[in-house]
């Protein structure tokens, strides 16, 4: 069990990208700045994908240049290809993330490319990033299930993660995109990937569709993973999977980790305040059990 866990906050990107109503640029900037003040070490600020496909994040450049970046905090941004990378670099991004899936069907629906084609798109990104001294994080989605094909062979998860790591991604986040995983399956998947990719280069990313996210995290912590993705207020979801709920709420993750004596460096009170503020901004109840409980006590 790790003594310290690094949390990668994905709310400003993965959490907001599926919102139906357009969120003001100033509010997105305020969200990142509030999160920066909580002690989080990594905050995924936005995504430089085509506004045609993700209109909610069309203001990526304005958001990134508007946030108050703090020393010691990483602000990775998602890029789909070399064009997106160039846009991100133009506004000062020093860390990026690339995204593919272990399900070929999901990948084609999500990015209009098969797995191997998407990996080829990333090669020039990784090559340019290496030349620029930019760190690249990789995402492997549908690691525990696909809304189209159902079960995803663990061998495909291993293959994709291995390819991203070999290309130069310093860290690979393994995502249960539709939240169908259970602790046993999560543990087995992580263990299989760790046979080819070092554990210290792996992270986990769970959605809470069936209320299994924290249990899955615990199972993976017991295997030795020490990096976990989460989204403040449990925002997010999957536009390609009907009924899939949001990401694991960062507040709930921090509460569990602190209760286990695992250090995060995060101020839970400040984080819960931010989750409550965001829920109010979005006009709904927070997706965090901790935040909801504290609001009634």
Structure tokens at 152: 């995803």
Residue 238 annotated to the active site = yes
Assess contact for 92 and 98: CB atoms under 8 A.
no
Phi, psi (degrees; rounded to nearest 5) at 231: -130, 130
Q: Given the residues 146, 169, 220, 238, select the one marked as catalytic.
A: 238
State how far the Cα of 6 lies from the Cα of 92, in Å rounded to an integer.
23
Strand partners for 42: 8, 74
Nearest-CA neighbor of 53 among 80, 71, 35, 32? 80
Residue 253: Cβ within 10 Å count? 26
State how far the Cα of 59 lies from the Cα of 46, in Å rounded to an integer.
9
Could you give the residue numbers annotated as active site? 238
């Amino acid at each position: 069990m790790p003594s310290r866990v690094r949390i990668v906050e994905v709310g400003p990107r993965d959490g907001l990208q599926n919102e139906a109503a357009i969120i003001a640029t100033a509010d997105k900037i305020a969200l990142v700045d509030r999160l920066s003040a909580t002690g989080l070490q990594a905050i995924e600020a936005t995504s430089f994908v085509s506004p045609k496909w993700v209109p909610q994040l069309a203001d990526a450049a304005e958001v990134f240049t508007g946030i108050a970046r703090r020393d010691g905090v990483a602000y990775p941004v998602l890029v789909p290809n070399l064009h997106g990378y160039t846009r991100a670099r133009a506004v000062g991004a020093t860390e990026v993330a690339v995204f593919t899936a272990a399900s070929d069907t999901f990948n084609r629906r999500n990015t209009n490319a098969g797995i191997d084609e998407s990996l080829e798109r990333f090669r020039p990104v990784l090559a340019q990033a290496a030349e620029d001294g930019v760190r690249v994080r990789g995402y492997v989605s549908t690691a525990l299930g696909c809304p189209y094909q159902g079960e995803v062979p663990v061998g495909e998860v291993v293959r994709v993660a291995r390819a991203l790591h070999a290309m130069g991604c310093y860290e690979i986040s393994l995502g249960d995109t539709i939240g169908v995983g259970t602790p046993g399956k999560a543990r087995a998947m992580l263990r299989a990937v760790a046979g080819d990719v070092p554990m210290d280069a792996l992270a986990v990313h769970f959605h809470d569709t069936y209320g299994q996210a924290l249990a899955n995290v615990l199972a993976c912590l017991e295997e030795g993973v020490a990096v976990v993705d989460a989204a403040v207020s449990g925002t997010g979801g999957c536009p390609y999977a009907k009924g899939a709920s949001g990401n694991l709420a960062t507040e709930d993750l921090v509460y569990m980790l602190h209760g286990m004596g695992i250090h995060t460096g995060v101020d839970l009170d400040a984080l819960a305040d931010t989750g409550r503020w965001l829920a109010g901004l979005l006009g709904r109840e927070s997706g965090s059990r901790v935040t909801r409980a504290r609001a009634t006590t």
